[in-house]
Amino acid sequence: MKVRVLFATGNEEVEALTVVDLIRRAGIECTMVSSEDTDVIVSSHKVTIQMDEKISDLSDDADMIVLPGGIPGVPNFIANPKVKKLVLKQYEAGRYVAAICAAPTALGKFGILKDKKAICYPGMENELYCKEVVMESVVKDGNVITSRGLGTAIPFGLALIECLKGKECADEIAKKIVYER
């Protein structure tokens, strides 16, 4: 199994790195991908993060692609045709796409949420362009998983693990990090 977490300048580092950490704890290969083809990305709070891959160098598919939130990270995703192409290819192939905080609005703008239930950062719901806004921490509809923000990063990461490796594995990781589900 392979998960790719996309990064752009201005992403919310805790949302992104929480997901990377939890997925790696579950024994799933997880790479951090620069959507800007740079070796490092500077987060919304000026944290410099070393990338594992560059979007232009990707040569295979992943089981899941994750977009973290943050401003201007999400607008940078939306403006990047390579991100849109990669995410649409992933979705159309029936593989998982996941987004947290403001990032579900990118999925909405890419047309992925039109027939889906979804959630995002409070106050941005009108940018989802989805079938139904669901006020839960994490919403899964088919191969799309969305979440609300930094405070939901752990349940979001655990939900991603559950999609890929099952509830038992997600529960085991939750127990190891002293998180009650």
pLDDT tens for 15-26 read 999 999 999 999
- pLDDT one-digit tens code per residue, 131-176: 999 999 999 999 999 999 999 999 999 999 999 999 999 999 999 9
Distance of CA 148 to the CA centre of its chain: 11
101 annotated active-site = yes
Its sign, for the CA torsion 12, 64, 93, 81, is positive
Rounded to whole angstroms, the Cα distance separating 102 from 175 reads 28
Mean pLDDT of 40-63: 97
| pLDDT for residue 107 is more than 90 | yes
Q: If we measure between CA atoms, which residue out of 79, 70, 140 comes closest to residue 109? A: 79
User: Which CATH number is 2-176's, of 3.40.50.880, 3.90.950.20, 3.40.50.300, 3.40.50.970?
Assistant: 3.40.50.880
Average pLDDT, the chain: 97
Active-site residue identified among 30, 101, 120, 130: 101
Mean pLDDT of 63-68: 98
In the chain, what percentage of residues exceed pLDDT 90? 98
